Amino acid sequence: MSKYKVYSCSFDLTDKNYSMNKMQGKNVLEENPCIRTQIIDTREEKSLFVDCVNEFDVENRYEDFWNRLNGNEELEKPYKTTNKFEKVKVIRVIKL
C-alpha cells in the first residue's frame, strides 16, 4: 500500500462552452485552476482507499465516490441546473 497523487477535474455537464485549451504553453496538471490535486494514502486504516493496490484502483474509487456523491440524475434530466450535474474525472494518478 502506498501514497498516490491524484489529479482530477470536475465538469459541469450543462456548460457547452467549457474548454481546457486556455492552458497552452503551461503545465496543464500543475498550473490549471480547474484541476484539483489530492494526496491519497492507502495505508490509513479508515481510508476509503485502504484496499486499493494500484493506480487504477485509486482512480476508480476516487471517481466512484465523487460521482455518487454528486448523484446520477443527469441520466434522466441532463439540463436541470443543480450541482448534481457535475462529473469528476481523474486526469492522472501518480504513485509517490
Structural domain that includes position 64: 3-95
Counted domains in the chain? 1
Q: Report the pLDDT value the prediction gives residue 66, as an integer from 0 to 100.
A: 85
Q: Report the pLDDT value the prediction gives residue 95, as an integer from 0 to 100.
A: 95
**Mean of the per-residue pLDDT values of the chain:** 75
Burial of 58 (0-12, 13-18, 19+ CB in 10 A): buried
Sign of the CA dihedral running 67, 68, 71, 74: positive
Lowest mean pLDDT among 47-51, 70-74, 88-92: 70-74
Strands (DSSP E) contained in 1-96 are 3-12, 35-41, 86-95
* Predicted structure pTM score: 0.71
The answer to whether residues 26 and 16 touch, using CB atoms and an 8 Å cutoff, is no
Secondary structure of residue 77 in the 3-state scheme: coil
